[in-house]
Structure 1
Amino acid sequence: MKTELSRRSALKTIVAGTAALGVSATLPSFALDPQQSSMLKGNVNHAVCRWCFKDIDLDTLCIEAKKIGIKAIDLVGPADWATLKKHGIDSSMCNGAEISLTEGWNEPKYHERLLKNYSEMIPKVAEAGYKQLICFSGNRRGKDDETGLKNCVDGLKQILPLAEKHGVVLVMELLNSKLNHKDYQCDHTAWGAELCKRLGSENFKLLYDIYHMQIDEGDVITTIKTYHQYISHYHTAGVPGRAEIDDTQELNYPAIVKAIVATGFKGYLAQEFIPRYKDKLKSLSDAVKICDV
């Protein structure tokens, strides 16, 4: 899918953005009432994914994000950390150690390269004062669930002592394999939770992408309640289409975020939608208001 291909490219390097569609922005029907205080409630740590707003220069995104109440930016590597620090913005999910979304820990032939990459990146993340570093299962390529789990454990258990030493959490993202990431292995929460159990480390957790998991398994709130102890990060986007989380899509984000808050979650909720409207920063502001429960 075009937007997903864009994300794959953005994970390697931030490139020139795509042109926005000429659609007028409208305030979602369940956004905060304009008469309410502009102050956020403080129950949610708001973040935004860099790749979704890559046509806005990072300095500008940091400045505008702070005005909105966003505390952090997701999916940035060492080259951009100085800019974030200049603006007092956290790096909520670091990247740069992964090979790709399709070449991950479930394939032994990638272990040597991944171990080298993560051995170099983990100390950098810690030295910068950050806590989370993304990773991926990779595609199945004919492997059943058990083989994929075993291979991931074999590889990750070699790097987890370093992560534990430096206080860095490796976070594997759940992605849908039905529509956007065909053949991706970590495509159901139960599989990811089983991997967490087998590794038995607080330095390995899951990134629960609400958009992706709605597509592959649904039952979002019950799943979050069941597996929240294995989740250290959340992403949002509208279903279908990965656009704004307004009333043009099927998910009830205020209810979902209330369920997340009720679990005692203190991490980041990062907006990862592809803006359709011309005023992308207004879309981002509206999304934060929707999720500020």
Structure 2
Amino acid sequence: MSKFAANLSMLFTEVDFLDRFKAAAEAGFKGVEYLFPYDYTAAEIKQHLDANGLTQVLFNLPAGDWVAGERGIACHPDRVEEFRAGVDKAIEYAQVLGNTQVNCLVGIQPDGVSDDEARKTVVENLRFAAEKLKAAGILLIAEPINTRDIPGFFLNRTEQALALFDDVGSDNLKLQYDIYHMQIMEGDLAPTIEKHLARIAHVQLADNPGRHEPGTGEINYPFLFAHLERLGYDGWIGCEYKPQAGTSQGLGWLDSAR
């Protein structure tokens, strides 16, 4: 049976962030994920996890100035030291919160930086992060993202990401497969998941178009959930979607999927 985690950066946004943990538990979620924990102390977040019986599933490495439009700095050659400091910060939080994986958003390729230079920087940064996290008992994951929502994002396709991971050469780096992003960029979801299942550590979902909950768009989620079950996928599925008409009103899909 699939394990679904509420993405608190997109669900239950009608209440303050720390109150979303309770809302997620009351809605039947057993795990939570979100973009970043760094606006709060790890102890604050841990208190809300424990009070609501939730597993901390995932958050991202620090990703630069999010409000200003940055979406990661791993491909920025001039910000390697900032990236490395972010790895240390993420480890501090993960060890308190108990989550065993963190995601790296590699970022938008900077103007004036060649493809080769950006790729080399990403490889070196992921290699550093993978080994540092491995020593702390934490898995590093990274994801391709569609170029419609984030133009210029450096990683866009499954095969591109896995080829880059091969160059990193770490057994502590796996793929975050976001169904929504990959439907837009390449389709062929079920065969791709099956082909690369051993390298997928985390799955995220939203329907397309609109990035709303399953059942609002073109993706056959009942088939995909059954497909993941048949394949023996035992990781979490992060619900990273924009509710079409309120989070609670749109959770009917979850009852039928569990």
Q: TM above 0.5, one fold?
A: yes
Q: CA RMSD in A?
A: 2.2
SS at match of 2:89: helix
Check the 8 A contact 1:235/1:269 in 2, yes or no. Answer: yes
Bigger drift between 211-220 and 136-145 goes to: 136-145
Determine if the alignment matches structure 1 residue 81 to structure 2 residue 46. yes
Match of 1:155 in 2: 125
1:113 to 55, 70, 82: 82
Question: Taking structure 1 as reference, are residues 208 and 107 closer, same or farther at Cα in structure 2, changes over 3 Å only?
Answer: same
Note the residue ranges of structure 1 that are not aligned, 5 or more in a row. Answer: 1-42
Paired with 1:111 and 1:207, the residues of 2 have a C-alpha distance of 22
Match of 1:140 in 2: 109
Question: In structure 2, what residue type is equivalent to 1:288?
Answer: L
Match of 2:63 in 1: 98
1:228-274 CA distance string (max 9 Å, x none): 2221111111100111211x310001111222223322211011111
Paired with 1:82 and 1:135, the residues of 2 have a C-alpha distance of 25
Question: Taking structure 1 as reference, are residues 249 and 159 closer, same or farther at Cα in structure 2, changes over 3 Å only?
Answer: closer
Paired with 1:157 and 1:60, the residues of 2 have a C-alpha distance of 36
2:186 to 197, 213, 217: 217
Paired with 2:239 and 2:3, the residues of 1 have a C-alpha distance of 11
Query: TM-score, structure 1 length as denominator?
Result: 0.76
Distance apart, 1:289 and its partner CA: 2.7
Question: Taking structure 1 as reference, are residues 96 and 86 closer, same or farther at Cα in structure 2, changes over 3 Å only?
Answer: farther
Bigger drift between 162-171 and 200-209 goes to: 200-209
Match of 2:10 in 1: 52
Question: Taking structure 1 as reference, are residues 162 and 229 closer, same or farther at Cα in structure 2, changes over 3 Å only?
Answer: same
Match of 2:175 in 1: 206
Higher relative contact order (CA 8 A, sep 6+): 1
Match of 1:167 in 2: 137
Determine if the alignment matches structure 1 residue 63 to structure 2 residue 30. no
Q: How many residue pairs get matched? A: 246
Paired with 2:76 and 2:124, the residues of 1 have a C-alpha distance of 10
Distance apart, 1:204 and its partner CA: 1.5
Distance apart, 1:72 and its partner CA: 0.9
1:181-228 CA distance string (max 9 Å, x none): 111111101111112222232322221111111011111111111122
Question: Taking structure 1 as reference, are residues 144 and 207 closer, same or farther at Cα in structure 2, changes over 3 Å only?
Answer: farther
Paired with 2:58 and 2:106, the residues of 1 have a C-alpha distance of 17
Match of 2:238 in 1: 270
Note the residue ranges of structure 2 that are not aligned, 5 or more in a row. Answer: none
Distance apart, 1:107 and its partner CA: 2.1
Question: In structure 2, what residue type is equivalent to 1:45?
Answer: K
SS at match of 1:106: coil
Distance apart, 1:125 and its partner CA: 0.7
Paired with 2:139 and 2:114, the residues of 1 have a C-alpha distance of 26
SS at match of 2:10: helix
* Misfit runs of 4+, over 6 Å: none
Check the 8 A contact 2:204/2:239 in 1, yes or no. Answer: yes
Distance apart, 1:114 and its partner CA: 0.6
Match of 2:146 in 1: 176
Match of 1:128 in 2: 97
1:103-135 CA distance string (max 9 Å, x none): 421222121101011122213312432111121
Question: Taking structure 1 as reference, are residues 276 and 167 closer, same or farther at Cα in structure 2, changes over 3 Å only?
Answer: same
Match of 1:287 in 2: 253
Question: Taking structure 1 as reference, are residues 259 and 104 closer, same or farther at Cα in structure 2, changes over 3 Å only?
Answer: farther
Bigger drift between 185-194 and 77-86 goes to: 77-86
